[in-house]
Amino acid sequence: MPAHYSLSETEEAVKRRLGPIPVRREALAAVSNLYRAAAAVRQHLENSALRSADLTWSAFVVLWVVWIWEEIETRHAAAEAGISKGTLTGIIKTLESRGLAVRRQHPDDGRLALLRLTPEGLALMEKLFPAFNDEESFVVGALDDEESLHLADTLRRIITHLEEHGEERRENLRRESPAPPRRGGRRRSS
């Protein structure tokens, strides 16, 4: 879904609108393009490699994580996939209903659940992953290998920075001006 206005048109409109408001344009451009690129890449992969298997991005990422680790605790699967444990519950349901993964109780700790692929899930990943990786190659097709690695490294620095200092930053902001809780969430059963 390409944008309707051209880059230069948008630049002009932003300048007109922001006027005297000071802007860090490098940060704005980097964050804006980061999100747009991620959305475009996800869109492409869902509509190419993942389309034939009728999998969403998140479902595939969960399958990938479980595949790599053979058997994994659900809490770790959520962390590796980068989603919340609540979201993972729904995705596991979808995968189980399609016979691609199974859940079982942890033998020692009754609170934990373990996740595995079924033989069908295993066969699917062995067939699907090469096609997925081919599309990943296409996605970075405008870059050579060195540039791709440099990009990966730059992004990793952003991720690490946020993991190490993000919570502290958000806490300081909340101290300055207490924020309302996010919408949603189960209501108290009165």
Residues 53-92 that bind DNA (CB under 7 A): 56-59, 73-75, 78, 82-92
Q: How far is CA 187 from CA 155, 180, 183, 184, 190, in A?
A: 38, 16, 11, 8, 9
Q: How far is CA 47 from CA 72, 94, 141, in A?
A: 28, 19, 17
Residue closer to DNA by CB (options 90, 99) is 90
176: contact with DNA by CB under 7 A:
no
17: contact with DNA by CB under 7 A:
no
24: contact with DNA by CB under 7 A:
no
For the CB of residue 21, give the shortest distance to its own copies in the complex, in Å: 6
Q: Which of residues 132-151 bind its own copies (CB under 8 A)?
A: 133-134, 136-143, 145, 147-151
81, 62 Cβ separation under 8 angstroms: yes
Residue closer to DNA by CB (options 84, 150) is 84
For 113-144, where are the alpha helices, taking DSSP H only?
A: 119-139
Q: Give the Cβ contact number of residue 50 at 10 Å.
A: 20
Q: What does the radius of gyration of the chain's CA atoms come to, in whole angstroms?
A: 21
Look up residue 30 and give its two tokens: 């980097």
Size of site (CB under 8 A) for its own copies: 92
185: contact with DNA by CB under 7 A:
yes
24: contact with its own copies by CB under 8 A:
yes
Which of 9-17, 19-27, 50-58, 117-125 is the region at the interface with DNA (rule: CB under 7 A)? 50-58
